[in-house]
Chains A and B, each alone.
Chain A
Amino acid sequence: MIRLWAWRAAAWALGLMPLLFGVKSILQGRLGANPVEFIEHYTGDWTLRLLLTTLAMTPLRMLTGLTEPIRVRRILGLWTFAFLCLHFLTYLVFDLSFSMTQLAEDLVKRTYITLGFTAWLLLVPLAVTSTVAWQRRLKRRWITLHRLIYPAALLGAIHYLWQVKADTREPLIYLSILLVLLAFRLPWSRLMSQWRARTSDKLGA
Protein backbone atom coordinates (compact mmCIF):
# COMPACT_ATOMS: atom_id res chain seq x y z
CA MET A 1 0.00 0.00 0.00
CA ILE A 2 2.79 2.40 0.95
CA ARG A 3 4.57 1.40 -2.21
CA LEU A 4 1.51 2.31 -4.31
CA TRP A 5 1.32 5.73 -2.63
CA ALA A 6 4.97 6.31 -3.48
CA TRP A 7 4.31 5.45 -7.13
CA ARG A 8 1.28 7.73 -7.19
CA ALA A 9 3.22 10.61 -5.66
CA ALA A 10 5.97 10.12 -8.24
CA ALA A 11 3.45 10.16 -11.09
CA TRP A 12 1.87 13.37 -9.79
CA ALA A 13 5.28 14.95 -9.33
CA LEU A 14 6.18 14.08 -12.92
CA GLY A 15 3.27 16.16 -14.17
CA LEU A 16 3.13 18.84 -11.53
CA MET A 17 6.81 19.74 -11.43
CA PRO A 18 7.20 20.77 -15.09
CA LEU A 19 3.91 22.65 -14.80
CA LEU A 20 5.04 24.62 -11.75
CA PHE A 21 8.46 25.21 -13.26
CA GLY A 22 6.82 26.53 -16.43
CA VAL A 23 4.55 28.87 -14.47
CA LYS A 24 7.54 30.08 -12.47
CA SER A 25 9.48 30.82 -15.65
CA ILE A 26 6.53 32.80 -17.02
CA LEU A 27 6.17 34.85 -13.82
CA GLN A 28 9.88 35.59 -13.77
CA GLY A 29 9.86 36.51 -17.46
CA ARG A 30 12.55 33.98 -18.26
CA LEU A 31 11.15 32.73 -21.53
CA GLY A 32 13.73 34.30 -23.80
CA ALA A 33 13.17 36.41 -26.87
CA ASN A 34 10.20 34.43 -28.20
CA PRO A 35 8.01 33.50 -25.21
CA VAL A 36 5.16 32.00 -27.26
CA GLU A 37 7.54 29.69 -29.07
CA PHE A 38 9.11 28.78 -25.72
CA ILE A 39 5.72 27.78 -24.28
CA GLU A 40 4.81 25.85 -27.42
CA HIS A 41 8.07 23.92 -27.35
CA TYR A 42 7.97 23.43 -23.58
CA THR A 43 4.42 22.04 -23.50
CA GLY A 44 5.07 19.99 -26.64
CA ASP A 45 8.25 18.46 -25.22
CA TRP A 46 6.53 17.57 -21.95
CA THR A 47 3.53 16.08 -23.75
CA LEU A 48 5.89 13.71 -25.56
CA ARG A 49 7.92 12.93 -22.44
CA LEU A 50 4.83 12.16 -20.35
CA LEU A 51 3.33 10.17 -23.22
CA LEU A 52 6.46 8.01 -23.45
CA THR A 53 6.43 7.57 -19.66
CA THR A 54 2.79 6.46 -19.82
CA LEU A 55 3.61 3.98 -22.56
CA ALA A 56 6.61 2.71 -20.58
CA MET A 57 4.37 1.38 -17.77
CA THR A 58 3.26 -1.82 -19.53
CA PRO A 59 6.83 -2.84 -20.49
CA LEU A 60 7.86 -1.96 -16.93
CA ARG A 61 5.29 -4.37 -15.55
CA MET A 62 6.36 -7.04 -18.03
CA LEU A 63 9.99 -6.64 -16.99
CA THR A 64 9.55 -6.30 -13.22
CA GLY A 65 6.27 -8.06 -12.53
CA LEU A 66 5.14 -5.07 -10.44
CA THR A 67 1.49 -3.99 -10.69
CA GLU A 68 2.03 -0.39 -9.55
CA PRO A 69 3.09 0.87 -13.01
CA ILE A 70 -0.35 -0.07 -14.36
CA ARG A 71 -2.07 1.62 -11.44
CA VAL A 72 -0.39 5.00 -12.06
CA ARG A 73 -0.97 4.87 -15.81
CA ARG A 74 -4.13 6.97 -15.61
CA ILE A 75 -2.40 9.76 -13.66
CA LEU A 76 0.39 9.90 -16.23
CA GLY A 77 -2.03 9.70 -19.14
CA LEU A 78 -4.14 12.56 -17.84
CA TRP A 79 -1.06 14.72 -17.25
CA THR A 80 -0.02 13.99 -20.84
CA PHE A 81 -3.43 15.17 -22.00
CA ALA A 82 -3.25 18.28 -19.80
CA PHE A 83 0.08 19.32 -21.35
CA LEU A 84 -1.26 18.55 -24.82
CA CYS A 85 -4.27 20.82 -24.16
CA LEU A 86 -1.97 23.63 -22.99
CA HIS A 87 0.12 23.11 -26.12
CA PHE A 88 -2.93 23.25 -28.40
CA LEU A 89 -4.39 26.22 -26.53
CA THR A 90 -1.16 28.26 -26.84
CA TYR A 91 -1.25 27.69 -30.60
CA LEU A 92 -4.97 28.58 -30.78
CA VAL A 93 -4.60 31.79 -28.78
CA PHE A 94 -1.24 33.20 -29.84
CA ASP A 95 -0.64 31.76 -33.30
CA LEU A 96 -4.22 31.86 -34.56
CA SER A 97 -5.86 34.49 -32.31
CA PHE A 98 -8.74 31.99 -32.08
CA SER A 99 -9.44 32.28 -35.80
CA MET A 100 -11.29 29.13 -36.85
CA THR A 101 -10.80 29.91 -40.53
CA GLN A 102 -7.05 29.95 -39.95
CA LEU A 103 -7.28 26.70 -38.03
CA ALA A 104 -9.15 25.14 -40.95
CA GLU A 105 -6.51 26.46 -43.36
CA ASP A 106 -3.69 25.04 -41.23
CA LEU A 107 -5.45 21.68 -40.94
CA VAL A 108 -5.74 21.45 -44.70
CA LYS A 109 -2.36 22.90 -45.68
CA ARG A 110 0.09 22.04 -42.90
CA THR A 111 0.54 18.34 -42.50
CA TYR A 112 2.31 18.61 -39.16
CA ILE A 113 -0.67 20.55 -37.76
CA THR A 114 -3.05 17.92 -39.18
CA LEU A 115 -1.04 15.18 -37.47
CA GLY A 116 -0.88 17.01 -34.13
CA PHE A 117 -4.55 17.89 -34.20
CA THR A 118 -5.52 14.30 -35.03
CA ALA A 119 -3.41 13.08 -32.12
CA TRP A 120 -5.28 15.47 -29.79
CA LEU A 121 -8.61 14.34 -31.24
CA LEU A 122 -7.74 10.67 -30.64
CA LEU A 123 -6.80 11.37 -27.03
CA VAL A 124 -9.98 13.29 -26.13
CA PRO A 125 -12.16 10.14 -25.77
CA LEU A 126 -9.38 8.47 -23.77
CA ALA A 127 -9.32 11.35 -21.28
CA VAL A 128 -13.13 11.32 -21.06
CA THR A 129 -13.36 7.56 -20.50
CA SER A 130 -10.46 7.41 -18.07
CA THR A 131 -12.72 7.05 -15.00
CA VAL A 132 -13.50 3.74 -13.30
CA ALA A 133 -17.20 4.22 -14.12
CA TRP A 134 -16.47 4.39 -17.84
CA GLN A 135 -14.10 1.47 -17.53
CA ARG A 136 -16.96 -0.61 -16.07
CA ARG A 137 -19.48 0.64 -18.60
CA LEU A 138 -17.31 -0.17 -21.63
CA LYS A 139 -15.89 -3.42 -20.23
CA ARG A 140 -13.65 -5.06 -22.83
CA ARG A 141 -14.29 -2.37 -25.39
CA TRP A 142 -12.47 0.04 -23.02
CA ILE A 143 -9.19 -1.73 -23.71
CA THR A 144 -9.80 -1.63 -27.46
CA LEU A 145 -10.67 2.08 -27.28
CA HIS A 146 -7.59 2.92 -25.27
CA ARG A 147 -5.35 1.37 -27.90
CA LEU A 148 -5.90 4.70 -29.69
CA ILE A 149 -2.93 5.93 -27.68
CA TYR A 150 -0.61 4.03 -30.08
CA PRO A 151 -1.59 5.90 -33.27
CA ALA A 152 -1.83 9.14 -31.27
CA ALA A 153 1.74 8.71 -30.00
CA LEU A 154 3.07 7.98 -33.48
CA LEU A 155 1.28 11.03 -34.88
CA GLY A 156 2.67 13.18 -32.07
CA ALA A 157 6.26 12.07 -32.66
CA ILE A 158 5.98 12.60 -36.44
CA HIS A 159 4.28 15.99 -35.82
CA TYR A 160 7.52 17.06 -34.10
CA LEU A 161 9.83 15.54 -36.72
CA TRP A 162 7.91 17.14 -39.60
CA GLN A 163 8.51 20.75 -38.58
CA VAL A 164 12.24 20.61 -37.88
CA LYS A 165 14.33 22.49 -40.45
CA ALA A 166 17.51 20.42 -40.58
CA ASP A 167 18.55 19.12 -37.17
CA THR A 168 16.37 16.03 -36.68
CA ARG A 169 18.34 14.57 -33.76
CA GLU A 170 15.87 15.34 -30.96
CA PRO A 171 12.63 14.29 -32.68
CA LEU A 172 14.36 11.09 -33.82
CA ILE A 173 15.28 10.28 -30.21
CA TYR A 174 11.61 10.57 -29.20
CA LEU A 175 10.52 8.49 -32.17
CA SER A 176 13.05 5.72 -31.48
CA ILE A 177 12.07 5.43 -27.82
CA LEU A 178 8.43 5.27 -28.90
CA LEU A 179 9.14 2.51 -31.42
CA VAL A 180 10.98 0.48 -28.77
CA LEU A 181 8.05 0.89 -26.36
CA LEU A 182 5.57 -0.10 -29.05
CA ALA A 183 7.69 -3.10 -30.02
CA PHE A 184 7.15 -4.46 -26.51
CA ARG A 185 3.47 -4.75 -27.36
CA LEU A 186 3.98 -7.09 -30.27
CA PRO A 187 2.84 -10.63 -29.42
CA TRP A 188 6.41 -11.88 -29.21
CA SER A 189 5.63 -15.28 -27.66
CA ARG A 190 3.13 -16.09 -30.40
CA LEU A 191 5.50 -14.87 -33.12
CA MET A 192 8.31 -16.93 -31.61
CA SER A 193 6.27 -20.13 -31.45
CA GLN A 194 5.06 -19.61 -35.03
CA TRP A 195 8.65 -19.15 -36.17
CA ARG A 196 9.76 -22.22 -34.22
CA ALA A 197 6.93 -24.26 -35.73
CA ARG A 198 7.92 -23.14 -39.21
CA THR A 199 11.61 -23.95 -38.77
CA SER A 200 10.86 -27.38 -37.24
CA ASP A 201 8.55 -28.08 -40.20
CA LYS A 202 11.43 -27.35 -42.53
CA LEU A 203 13.79 -29.51 -40.50
CA GLY A 204 11.27 -32.34 -40.44
CA ALA A 205 10.90 -32.18 -44.22
Chain B
Amino acid sequence: MLIKLGHPFPIKPSEITPETVHADRRRFLRQVGLATAGAALVGYGPGKSVSAEAELAPLNVVRKSEMAGGETVTPYADITHYNNYYEFGSAKEDPSRNAGRLRTRPWSVVVDGECEAPGHIDIDDLVKPQTLEERIYRHRCVEAWSMVAPWIGLPLADFLKRFRPTSKAKFVAFYTLYDPQQMPETARGVLDWPYREGLRIDEAMHPLAFLSVGLYGRVLPNQDGAPLRLTLPWKYGFKSIKSIVRVHFTERQPEATWNKMAPQEYGFYSNVNPSVDHPRWSQAQERRLGELFKRKTLMFNGYPEVASLYTGMDLRRLF
Protein backbone atom coordinates (compact mmCIF):
# COMPACT_ATOMS: atom_id res chain seq x y z
CA MET B 1 0.00 0.00 0.00
CA LEU B 2 1.31 3.39 -0.95
CA ILE B 3 1.05 5.95 1.79
CA LYS B 4 1.41 9.49 0.51
CA LEU B 5 2.61 11.91 3.10
CA GLY B 6 2.12 15.25 1.41
CA HIS B 7 0.96 18.33 3.23
CA PRO B 8 -2.70 17.65 3.99
CA PHE B 9 -3.73 21.32 3.79
CA PRO B 10 -3.59 23.09 0.43
CA ILE B 11 -3.66 26.55 2.03
CA LYS B 12 -1.13 27.93 4.45
CA PRO B 13 -2.18 27.67 8.10
CA SER B 14 -1.55 31.39 8.56
CA GLU B 15 -4.22 32.18 5.98
CA ILE B 16 -6.96 30.27 7.79
CA THR B 17 -9.31 32.33 9.91
CA PRO B 18 -9.45 30.82 13.38
CA GLU B 19 -12.65 28.99 14.20
CA THR B 20 -13.44 31.38 17.06
CA VAL B 21 -13.47 34.37 14.75
CA HIS B 22 -15.65 33.16 11.94
CA ALA B 23 -17.88 30.61 13.66
CA ASP B 24 -19.54 32.73 16.29
CA ARG B 25 -19.08 36.46 16.13
CA ARG B 26 -21.31 37.11 19.13
CA ARG B 27 -19.36 34.81 21.34
CA PHE B 28 -16.17 36.42 20.14
CA LEU B 29 -17.45 39.88 21.03
CA ARG B 30 -18.64 38.72 24.41
CA GLN B 31 -15.26 37.21 25.06
CA VAL B 32 -13.59 40.51 24.22
CA GLY B 33 -16.02 42.26 26.57
CA LEU B 34 -15.19 39.92 29.40
CA ALA B 35 -11.49 39.95 28.71
CA THR B 36 -10.65 42.07 31.71
CA ALA B 37 -12.44 39.85 34.19
CA GLY B 38 -11.40 36.81 32.21
CA ALA B 39 -7.68 37.51 32.37
CA ALA B 40 -7.61 36.40 35.98
CA LEU B 41 -9.98 33.49 35.34
CA VAL B 42 -8.12 32.06 32.40
CA GLY B 43 -5.21 31.96 34.72
CA TYR B 44 -2.15 33.07 32.87
CA GLY B 45 -0.78 33.76 36.26
CA PRO B 46 2.68 32.97 37.56
CA GLY B 47 4.26 29.66 36.69
CA LYS B 48 2.46 28.96 33.44
CA SER B 49 5.42 27.69 31.47
CA VAL B 50 5.13 27.38 27.71
CA SER B 51 8.24 25.27 27.13
CA ALA B 52 9.07 21.72 28.14
CA GLU B 53 10.95 20.83 31.30
CA ALA B 54 14.67 21.16 30.71
CA GLU B 55 15.53 17.76 32.25
CA LEU B 56 13.74 15.94 29.44
CA ALA B 57 15.96 15.07 26.46
CA PRO B 58 15.50 17.25 23.38
CA LEU B 59 14.49 15.61 20.09
CA ASN B 60 15.51 16.65 16.60
CA VAL B 61 12.89 16.78 13.92
CA VAL B 62 13.28 16.88 10.16
CA ARG B 63 9.96 18.53 9.49
CA LYS B 64 7.34 20.55 11.33
CA SER B 65 3.72 20.52 10.20
CA GLU B 66 1.09 22.81 11.56
CA MET B 67 -2.05 20.71 11.30
CA ALA B 68 -4.47 22.47 13.64
CA GLY B 69 -5.71 25.23 11.35
CA GLY B 70 -3.36 27.82 12.85
CA GLU B 71 -4.96 27.61 16.28
CA THR B 72 -2.95 28.63 19.32
CA VAL B 73 -0.91 25.84 20.84
CA THR B 74 -1.94 25.02 24.44
CA PRO B 75 0.71 25.90 27.08
CA TYR B 76 2.98 23.03 28.06
CA ALA B 77 1.94 23.37 31.69
CA ASP B 78 -1.70 22.73 30.77
CA ILE B 79 -0.99 19.78 28.47
CA THR B 80 1.09 18.15 31.22
CA HIS B 81 -1.05 19.02 34.25
CA TYR B 82 -4.55 18.45 32.94
CA ASN B 83 -5.12 15.07 31.36
CA ASN B 84 -6.47 11.58 31.92
CA TYR B 85 -4.23 8.62 32.62
CA TYR B 86 -6.28 6.46 34.98
CA GLU B 87 -3.34 4.19 35.85
CA PHE B 88 -2.08 7.20 37.83
CA GLY B 89 -5.42 8.40 39.23
CA SER B 90 -8.74 9.67 37.97
CA ALA B 91 -8.38 13.41 38.70
CA LYS B 92 -6.94 15.62 35.97
CA GLU B 93 -3.84 16.61 37.96
CA ASP B 94 -3.19 13.06 39.29
CA PRO B 95 -1.05 11.89 36.34
CA SER B 96 1.35 14.83 36.73
CA ARG B 97 1.62 14.02 40.44
CA ASN B 98 1.94 10.24 40.27
CA ALA B 99 3.52 9.33 36.94
CA GLY B 100 7.03 9.91 38.32
CA ARG B 101 7.09 6.23 39.31
CA LEU B 102 6.90 5.10 35.70
CA ARG B 103 10.24 3.75 34.41
CA THR B 104 10.50 4.37 30.68
CA ARG B 105 13.94 2.69 30.19
CA PRO B 106 14.53 -0.07 29.37
CA TRP B 107 11.35 -0.29 27.29
CA SER B 108 10.47 -2.58 24.46
CA VAL B 109 7.34 -3.16 22.46
CA VAL B 110 6.20 -6.65 21.51
CA VAL B 111 4.61 -6.90 18.09
CA ASP B 112 2.79 -10.12 17.25
CA GLY B 113 -0.27 -11.65 15.65
CA GLU B 114 -1.09 -11.62 11.94
CA CYS B 115 2.25 -10.41 10.58
CA GLU B 116 5.24 -11.90 8.78
CA ALA B 117 7.91 -10.32 10.97
CA PRO B 118 6.76 -10.45 14.59
CA GLY B 119 9.23 -9.54 17.31
CA HIS B 120 10.04 -6.89 19.81
CA ILE B 121 11.63 -3.56 19.35
CA ASP B 122 13.51 -1.46 21.87
CA ILE B 123 12.30 2.11 22.19
CA ASP B 124 15.78 3.48 21.48
CA ASP B 125 16.15 1.31 18.37
CA LEU B 126 12.84 2.72 17.23
CA VAL B 127 13.51 6.38 17.88
CA LYS B 128 17.18 6.84 17.00
CA PRO B 129 17.43 5.72 13.36
CA GLN B 130 13.98 7.06 12.62
CA THR B 131 13.54 10.53 11.24
CA LEU B 132 11.14 12.21 13.58
CA GLU B 133 8.70 14.95 12.70
CA GLU B 134 6.61 17.41 14.63
CA ARG B 135 2.87 17.71 14.08
CA ILE B 136 0.58 20.20 15.72
CA TYR B 137 -2.76 18.49 16.20
CA ARG B 138 -6.04 19.34 17.86
CA HIS B 139 -6.93 16.95 20.69
CA ARG B 140 -10.55 16.47 21.73
CA CYS B 141 -11.44 14.57 24.90
CA VAL B 142 -14.73 12.66 25.15
CA GLU B 143 -15.40 14.80 28.25
CA ALA B 144 -15.80 17.86 25.97
CA TRP B 145 -12.54 19.67 26.66
CA SER B 146 -9.85 20.11 24.05
CA MET B 147 -6.36 21.40 23.39
CA VAL B 148 -3.77 21.87 20.66
CA ALA B 149 -0.47 20.06 21.11
CA PRO B 150 2.85 19.85 19.21
CA TRP B 151 3.66 16.14 19.13
CA ILE B 152 6.91 14.59 17.92
CA GLY B 153 6.93 11.13 16.44
CA LEU B 154 6.45 9.10 13.29
CA PRO B 155 3.51 8.01 11.18
CA LEU B 156 1.95 4.92 12.76
CA ALA B 157 1.91 3.27 9.32
CA ASP B 158 5.73 3.48 9.08
CA PHE B 159 6.01 1.63 12.37
CA LEU B 160 3.39 -1.02 11.60
CA LYS B 161 4.75 -1.81 8.13
CA ARG B 162 8.12 -2.89 9.59
CA PHE B 163 6.37 -6.01 10.89
CA ARG B 164 4.73 -6.78 7.55
CA PRO B 165 1.09 -7.37 8.55
CA THR B 166 -0.57 -10.09 6.46
CA SER B 167 -3.90 -9.90 4.66
CA LYS B 168 -5.49 -11.41 7.77
CA ALA B 169 -4.54 -8.33 9.80
CA LYS B 170 -7.91 -6.59 9.68
CA PHE B 171 -7.41 -4.83 12.99
CA VAL B 172 -4.58 -3.81 15.24
CA ALA B 173 -4.77 -3.92 19.03
CA PHE B 174 -2.62 -1.89 21.43
CA TYR B 175 -1.85 -2.53 25.10
CA THR B 176 -0.62 -0.15 27.79
CA LEU B 177 1.89 -1.28 30.39
CA TYR B 178 0.19 -2.79 33.45
CA ASP B 179 2.48 -2.83 36.46
CA PRO B 180 0.82 -2.23 39.86
CA GLN B 181 4.26 -1.45 41.32
CA GLN B 182 4.71 1.54 39.05
CA MET B 183 1.00 2.26 38.82
CA PRO B 184 -0.38 1.94 42.36
CA GLU B 185 -3.72 3.49 41.41
CA THR B 186 -4.52 0.40 39.31
CA ALA B 187 -5.13 -1.47 42.59
CA ARG B 188 -8.46 0.35 42.90
CA GLY B 189 -9.75 -1.36 39.80
CA VAL B 190 -11.57 1.62 38.32
CA LEU B 191 -10.90 0.22 34.85
CA ASP B 192 -10.16 -3.27 33.56
CA TRP B 193 -6.36 -3.32 33.20
CA PRO B 194 -4.28 -3.47 31.15
CA TYR B 195 -5.70 -0.57 29.17
CA ARG B 196 -6.45 -1.76 25.65
CA GLU B 197 -7.40 -0.03 22.45
CA GLY B 198 -7.87 -1.01 18.84
CA LEU B 199 -8.11 0.35 15.32
CA ARG B 200 -9.24 -1.03 12.01
CA ILE B 201 -6.10 -1.57 9.90
CA ASP B 202 -7.04 1.14 7.38
CA GLU B 203 -7.51 3.63 10.24
CA ALA B 204 -4.13 2.65 11.67
CA MET B 205 -2.48 3.07 8.25
CA HIS B 206 -4.05 6.48 7.62
CA PRO B 207 -1.38 9.20 7.27
CA LEU B 208 -2.92 11.19 10.17
CA ALA B 209 -2.45 8.31 12.63
CA PHE B 210 0.70 9.16 14.55
CA LEU B 211 2.96 7.41 17.03
CA SER B 212 4.25 10.06 19.43
CA VAL B 213 7.47 9.92 21.40
CA GLY B 214 7.81 13.62 22.20
CA LEU B 215 6.02 16.83 23.06
CA TYR B 216 7.11 20.47 22.81
CA GLY B 217 10.52 19.58 21.37
CA ARG B 218 11.51 17.07 24.04
CA VAL B 219 10.73 13.46 24.93
CA LEU B 220 7.25 12.79 26.30
CA PRO B 221 6.78 13.47 29.98
CA ASN B 222 5.58 10.32 31.80
CA GLN B 223 2.09 11.65 32.48
CA ASP B 224 1.41 12.14 28.77
CA GLY B 225 2.16 8.53 27.88
CA ALA B 226 5.95 8.12 27.74
CA PRO B 227 7.80 6.61 26.07
CA LEU B 228 5.41 6.11 23.17
CA ARG B 229 1.73 6.62 22.58
CA LEU B 230 -0.78 6.93 19.79
CA THR B 231 -2.03 10.31 18.63
CA LEU B 232 -5.25 10.02 16.65
CA PRO B 233 -6.49 13.58 16.23
CA TRP B 234 -9.89 12.71 14.69
CA LYS B 235 -10.89 10.40 17.55
CA TYR B 236 -11.73 11.08 21.19
CA GLY B 237 -8.63 11.24 23.33
CA PHE B 238 -9.05 7.89 25.08
CA LYS B 239 -8.40 6.09 21.76
CA SER B 240 -4.88 7.55 21.77
CA ILE B 241 -3.49 4.87 24.06
CA LYS B 242 -0.44 5.70 26.21
CA SER B 243 2.79 3.90 27.21
CA ILE B 244 2.39 1.10 24.67
CA VAL B 245 4.06 -2.27 25.40
CA ARG B 246 2.31 -4.51 22.90
CA VAL B 247 0.91 -4.26 19.38
CA HIS B 248 -1.14 -7.16 18.08
CA PHE B 249 -2.40 -7.65 14.51
CA THR B 250 -5.68 -9.53 14.49
CA GLU B 251 -8.44 -10.67 12.18
CA ARG B 252 -11.26 -9.82 14.63
CA GLN B 253 -12.21 -6.55 16.23
CA PRO B 254 -10.17 -6.33 19.44
CA GLU B 255 -11.42 -5.30 22.86
CA ALA B 256 -11.12 -1.67 23.91
CA THR B 257 -11.19 -0.80 27.62
CA TRP B 258 -13.78 2.00 27.76
CA ASN B 259 -15.88 0.39 25.05
CA LYS B 260 -15.99 -2.85 27.03
CA MET B 261 -16.88 -1.07 30.27
CA ALA B 262 -19.73 1.05 28.85
CA PRO B 263 -20.45 0.14 25.21
CA GLN B 264 -23.50 2.41 25.08
CA GLU B 265 -21.31 5.41 26.00
CA TYR B 266 -17.96 4.75 24.30
CA GLY B 267 -18.03 3.24 20.83
CA PHE B 268 -15.24 1.21 19.26
CA TYR B 269 -14.68 3.91 16.64
CA SER B 270 -15.20 6.95 18.89
CA ASN B 271 -14.67 9.42 16.09
CA VAL B 272 -15.20 13.02 17.15
CA ASN B 273 -18.75 13.75 16.03
CA PRO B 274 -20.72 16.82 17.18
CA SER B 275 -24.02 15.28 16.09
CA VAL B 276 -23.75 12.11 18.17
CA ASP B 277 -24.05 12.97 21.85
CA HIS B 278 -22.64 10.98 24.72
CA PRO B 279 -25.71 9.55 26.49
CA ARG B 280 -25.06 11.82 29.45
CA TRP B 281 -23.67 14.98 27.84
CA SER B 282 -23.57 16.89 24.58
CA GLN B 283 -20.69 16.54 22.13
CA ALA B 284 -21.78 19.54 20.05
CA GLN B 285 -19.46 21.89 21.91
CA GLU B 286 -16.17 21.75 23.73
CA ARG B 287 -14.09 23.93 26.01
CA ARG B 288 -10.60 24.60 24.69
CA LEU B 289 -8.12 24.80 27.54
CA GLY B 290 -7.39 28.50 28.02
CA GLU B 291 -10.81 29.65 26.82
CA LEU B 292 -13.78 30.60 28.99
CA PHE B 293 -16.67 29.95 26.64
CA LYS B 294 -17.38 26.79 24.71
CA ARG B 295 -16.70 26.50 21.00
CA LYS B 296 -18.36 24.31 18.40
CA THR B 297 -16.93 20.84 17.96
CA LEU B 298 -15.92 20.04 14.39
CA MET B 299 -16.77 16.80 12.57
CA PHE B 300 -13.77 14.45 12.87
CA ASN B 301 -12.30 17.20 15.05
CA GLY B 302 -11.66 19.26 11.92
CA TYR B 303 -9.89 16.49 9.95
CA PRO B 304 -12.28 15.81 7.05
CA GLU B 305 -9.55 13.86 5.21
CA VAL B 306 -10.43 10.78 7.30
CA ALA B 307 -14.08 10.80 6.18
CA SER B 308 -13.38 8.36 3.32
CA LEU B 309 -12.48 5.69 5.92
CA TYR B 310 -16.11 5.63 6.99
CA THR B 311 -17.95 5.88 3.68
CA GLY B 312 -21.23 3.99 3.82
CA MET B 313 -21.09 3.53 7.58
CA ASP B 314 -23.92 4.72 9.82
CA LEU B 315 -21.90 6.83 12.25
CA ARG B 316 -24.88 7.17 14.60
CA ARG B 317 -24.89 3.44 15.13
CA LEU B 318 -21.16 2.82 14.76
CA PHE B 319 -20.15 5.79 16.92
Q: Which residues of A contact B (CB under 8 A)?
A: 26-37, 94-95, 97, 105-106, 109-112, 162-163, 165-167, 169
CB–CB A29/B43 < 8 A:
yes
Contact B41 A34 (CB under 8 A): no
Bound Cα distance A34, B75 (Å) = 12
| Complex CA–CA separation, A166 to B238 (angstroms) | 13
B289 with A34: CB separation less than 8 A: yes
Q: Which residues between 46 and 62 of chain B lie within 8 Å of chain A, taking CB atoms? A: 46, 48
Q: A37-B287, A97-B293, A109-B277 are in contact. Are A32 and B41 (CB under 8 A)?
A: no
Interchain CB contact (< 8 A) of B292 among A35, A106, A109, A166? A35
Q: Which of A26, A97, A111, A162 contacts B27 (CB 8 A)?
A: A97
A29→B93 contact, CB < 8 A: no
CB proximity to A under 8 Å, residues B198-235: none
On whether the beta carbons of A109 and B282 are closer than 8 Å, the reply is yes
- Point out the residue from A28, A32, A167 that lies within 8 Å of B90, measured CB to CB: A167
Query: Chain A contacts of B6 at CB under 8 A?
Result: none
Whether B30 lies near A34 (C-beta < 8 A) is no
CA of A14 to CA of B275 in the docked complex: distance in angstroms? 43
CB <8 Å contact, A110 and B280: yes
B277 partner residues in chain A, CB cutoff 8 A: 109
Report yes or no: B41 in contact with A35, Cβ–Cβ below 8 A.
Answer: yes
A34-B82, A34-B92 as given contacts; A166 in contact with B280, CB under 8 Å: no
B78 at the binding interface (Cβ < 8 Å): yes
| CB atoms of B282 and A29 under 8 A apart | no
Say whether B292 contacts A29, CB under 8 Å: no
Q: Is the CB of B292 within 8 A of A36?
A: yes
Whole-angstrom distance between the alpha carbons of A131 and B280 in the complex?
38
Write out the residue numbers on chain A whose beta carbons fall within 8 Å of the beta carbon of B190. 166-167
The reply to whether B294 and A95 form a contact with Cβ atoms under 8 Å apart is: yes
Residue contact A33 to B81, C-beta cutoff 8 Å = yes
Q: Which residue of A lies closest to B31 (CB)?
A: A97
Partner of A166, one of B45, B261, B289, B290: B261
In the bound complex, what is the Cα–Cα distance between A112 and B143 (angstroms)? 15
Which residues does chain B contribute within 8 Å of A106, judged by CB atoms? 282
Which residues from A are CB-within-8-Å of B261? Answer: 166
A30 to B77, CA, bound (A): 12
Chain B residues within 8 Å of A26, by CB: 40-41
User: Given B43, B143, B280, which contacts A32 in the complex, CB threshold below 8 Å?
Assistant: B43
The answer on a CB contact under 8 Å between A166 and B82 is no
Inter-subunit contact B293/A37 (CB<8 Å)? no
Q: Known contacts A31-B41, A94-B293; decide if A165 and B143 are in contact (CB<8 Å).
A: yes
Write the nearest CB–CB distance from B65 to chain A, whole angstroms: 25
Which B residues are in CB contact (< 8 Å) with A29?
40-46, 48
Q: What residues of B have a CB within 8 angstroms of the CB of A33 in the complex?
A: 43, 74, 77-78, 81-82, 92, 289-290
Q: C-beta contact mask, B279-304 vs A, less than 8 Å → 1, else 0?
A: 01110000101101110000000000
Enumerate chain B residues within 8 angstroms of A97, measured Cβ to Cβ: 27, 30, 293-294
Q: Known contacts A37-B145, A94-B293; decide if A32 and B282 are in contact (CB<8 Å).
A: no
A81 CB to closest chain B CB (Å) equals: 24
The 3 closest A-B pairs by CB, nearest first: A29-B45, A33-B82, A167-B90
A113 to chain B: closest residue by CB: B281
A27-B37 Cα distance, complex, nearest whole Å: 10
Q: Are A36 and B81 in contact (CB under 8 A)?
A: no
- A31-B43 contact, Cβ under 8 Å, with A163-B281, A166-B86, A166-B191: yes
Residues of A within 8 A of B281 (CB): 110, 163
- Which of chain B's residues have a CB closer than 8 A to the CB of A169? 188
Q: Which of B48, B92, B280 has the most CB of A within 10 A?
A: B280
User: In the complex where A94-B293, A167-B190 touch, is A32 in contact with B45 (Cβ < 8 A)?
Assistant: no
A70–B143 CA distance with the chains assembled, in angstroms? 41
Task: Write the nearest CB–CB distance from A35 to chain B, whole angstroms.
Answer: 5
Give Cα A32 to B293, complex, Å: 16
A94 to B30 Cα, complex, angstroms: 11
**21 A-B pairs in the complex with CB atoms less than 8 angstroms apart:** A29-B40, A29-B41, A29-B44, A29-B45, A29-B48, A31-B43, A32-B93, A33-B92, A33-B289, A34-B92, A34-B145, A94-B292, A94-B294, A97-B293, A105-B282, A109-B282, A110-B281, A110-B282, A165-B90, A166-B86, A166-B190
